[in-house]
Amino acid sequence: MSGPILEARDLVKRYGSVEALRGVSFSVLEGEVFGLLGPNGAGKTTTVEILEGLRGADGGTARVCGLDPQRDSVALKHEIGGALQSTALPDKLRVGEALRLFAGFYRRHRNPGELLKRFGLEGKRHAFYGQLSGGQKQRLALAMALVNNPRILFFDEPTAGLDPQARREIYDIIEELRGEKKTIVYTTHYIEEAERLCDRVAVVDQGKVIALGTPRELKERSGNSTRIEVRLAKPAEDEALRGLEGVVDCRLFDGSHVLHSRRPPQTIVALVKYLEAQGNELASLEIAAPSLEDAFIELTGRRLRD
């Protein structure tokens, strides 16, 4: 990996009185898959659209492939590829035609036939766009993002709205691109995607980057503690649960107590004893290794899916 291919510094964007970005900064190295993880409305798409040159920022600076996305937008478009949210192609455009059409727009481009083969769309070459399934449309969108052999790819929630099977197919494609050392900026609100696909992740919340690091580094921030999620028959005091042996943190989400423990077996024994003493009972209990979700909870006090 060499120096940063993308740098965002203090990006600010306002929509009327709403501040969508409140000083977003990060840089992306050549050859890495960089994730922007955050809930809907966190500012991920706005960030990506500023970097692609589709929107102007109200403050801050950005450089992508050494270019200013606003000033050098035409030159930049030859260098980047992307799959944006809520885009489409004309229903009556054939798959092969779409790739050839877009290949024709660029100074350099890849062979459309090879891309179709690689993305498993060879059999759909003559199919109309309107006849494709959601997963096939998204595979075509990714193939089209690669048509100019871009230096950097932007994938904005590419798995949104797809069924699990189609989602796995997209993961395979991203992992393959990762293996080829393609630089990718990947936005998602799925923790498992960020964990599985990204080399580094910026956690975005309310228009700010609140944490940045490899998935492992972020998880370590949550103290390498095990998550114990319990539902109780009767309500219990958070404070009392926090005092149990080994517990470092306890929060209540939708009626579930989420405890973080450094010594899970001791915590569970202490919990059972405490509940017995209170005349309370366990309705359910789940134990999980530390995840990015825990890091997110720790940083924001909220769950990502809230």
- The site for another protein (CB under 8 A) is made up of 52, 54, 74, 77-78, 80, 82, 84, 86-90, 92-93, 97, 101-102, 104-106, 144
- Contacts (Cβ under 8 Å, ≥6 apart) of 135: 162, 163, 165, 166, 169, 170
Nearer to another protein, 75 or 212 (CB): 75
3-state secondary structure of 239: helix
Nearer to another protein, 82 or 290 (CB): 82
Nearer to another protein, 130 or 265 (CB): 130
DSSP assignment of 30-93, as one string? TT-EEEEE--TTSSHHHHHHHHTTSS--SEEEEEETTB-TTTTHHHHHHHEEEE-TT----TTS
Nearer to another protein, 144 or 295 (CB): 144
From 219, 266, 229, select the one nearest 250 (Cα to Cα): 229
Q: For residue 89, what are its two tokens?
A: 């192609």
From 5, 11, 107, 9, select the one nearest 55 (Cα to Cα): 11
Nearer to another protein, 89 or 270 (CB): 89
Closest separation in Å from C-beta 92 to another protein: 4
Buried/exposed 185-223: b ≥16 CB within 10 Å, e otherwise: bbbbbbbebbbebbbbbbbbbebbbebbeebeebbebbb
Closest separation in Å from C-beta 72 to another protein: 12
Residue 153 contacts residue 183 (beta carbons within 8 Å): yes
Nearer to another protein, 52 or 157 (CB): 52
Q: For residue 82, what are its two tokens?
A: 């992307």
Closest separation in Å from C-beta 55 to another protein: 9
Closest separation in Å from C-beta 94 to another protein: 9
From 141, 152, 148, select the one nearest 8 (Cα to Cα): 152
How far is it, in rounded angstroms, from Cα 116 to Cα 124?
A: 8
Closest separation in Å from C-beta 149 to another protein: 14
Closest separation in Å from C-beta 45 to another protein: 12
CA 263 to chain centre: 31
Closest separation in Å from C-beta 54 to another protein: 6
Nearer to another protein, 18 or 277 (CB): 18
Closest separation in Å from C-beta 124 to another protein: 17
User: Angle formed by the axes of helices 95-103 and 134-145, to 10°?
Assistant: 20
Nearer to another protein, 124 or 219 (CB): 124
